[in-house]
Amino acid sequence: MKSVGRPLLSFLIVFSSLVLLPVAANAALIAITNTFASSEVSADRAAIHATNGSNLNFIGTSGQDGDPSKYTHTGGGNNFGQFNVNWLSANTGPDAQWLAVDLGGSYLLDFLNFFNFSTSGTANTNNGRGIQQGDIYYRTDSLGSNTHLNGSAFDSTGWTLLGTAGSQTFTLGPSNGSDASPDTIALGGITARYIAIDANSNFAGGSNYAGIGEVQFFGTAIPEPGKASLLFLAGAFAALRRRRE
C-alpha cells in the first residue's frame, strides 16, 4: 500500500503547487480600481487623473501592452500645467505628499511607468513642479492610515520599501507640450495590492506644488484557487486515506 500511496502523494503535492500558487505570465497593464492622494488642488487635477490614461498615447498595435516603449504622455495647456494631471497639494510642501493606488486584487508586479508632470510652454513653463525624488512602497492588506485626503504625511507603517529600487530620482518632464517617454521601474515580481509613491522633493522652481502626469502598473493577477481544483484535491486525499486503511 505504501508503494501506491507515495506516488499518489507526490502527484498531489505537484498538483497542489500548480493550482494553488501563482503562475508566471506575460505582464499586462493593470486597470486601477481606486486612486488616493494626501491632498488635491481641484477636481480637474484630482488624483484619479494620474491613473486614468489622461493625455496618454499608445503607439503600436493591440497586444503590446507590456512594452513600455509603446506609451508616451503629452504635456498640458493652461497656466497651471496640464489640465488632467494629479496635483498633490500646496502649503505643506512636496515632501509631505503621496499618491497610492488600489489594484483591486493581489498581483505579481513586473514594472511601472512613471510620467512626470509637464507643461505646454504657453503661459507657465514651470515643469519644476514634477516630482524629482520619491520612495516607492507596497503592501497587500490595506491602505492603513493613509486614507484619501486625510492631510497627513505618508505613513510607512505596514508598508514595505521596494528594496534598492524603492528610492527613485525621476526625469524632469518637458515644458513645451511634447510627448514624453516614461521612467520604467522594475518591481521585481513583488506581490502587492497597494502601491504608493511618497514624494520627497520636486525640481527647482516648483514652489510648494508636486505633480504626476501618469503612473501605469504592469503585472499578472494572482487567481483564487478554483472550486473544481479544491474538490479534486479533497477527493484525491480521501482516496489516499482509503488505500492506507
**Helix, strand, or coil (residue 194):** strand
Q: pLDDT digits over 38-58, tens only?
A: 888 777 778 888 898 878 888
Cβ-contact 201, 132 below 8 angstroms: yes
Q: Could you tell me the pLDDT band of residue 81, with boundaries at 50, 70 and 90? A: very low
pLDDT value for 2:
47
Between the alpha carbon of residue 77 and those of residues 41, 46, 115, 175, the distances in Å are: 17, 17, 16, 10
pLDDT value for 118:
85
Distance CA 115, CA 131 (A): 10
pLDDT value for 206:
65
Q: pLDDT digits over 119-170, tens only?
A: 876 555 678 888 999 999 999 999 999 999 887 888 888 999 999 889 999 9
Residue 184: name the closest of 133, 130, 113, 116 by CA: 113
Helix (H) or strand (E) holding 134: strand 131-139
pLDDT value for 89:
66
Question: How many CB atoms are located within 10 Å of the residue 7 CB?
Answer: 10
What are the residues whose beta carbons fall under 8 Å from the beta carbon of 179, sequence distance 6 or more?
57, 72, 73, 74
Between the alpha carbon of residue 190 and those of residues 119, 156, 220, the distances in Å are: 33, 17, 11
Q: Cell digits for 76?
A: 498640458
Q: pLDDT digits over 174-209, tens only?
A: 888 888 999 999 999 999 999 999 999 998 766 778
For residue 29, pLDDT beyond 70: yes
Residue 190: name the closest of 109, 105, 136, 104 by CA: 109
Question: pTM above 0.85?
Answer: no
Distance CA 172, CA 196 (A): 20
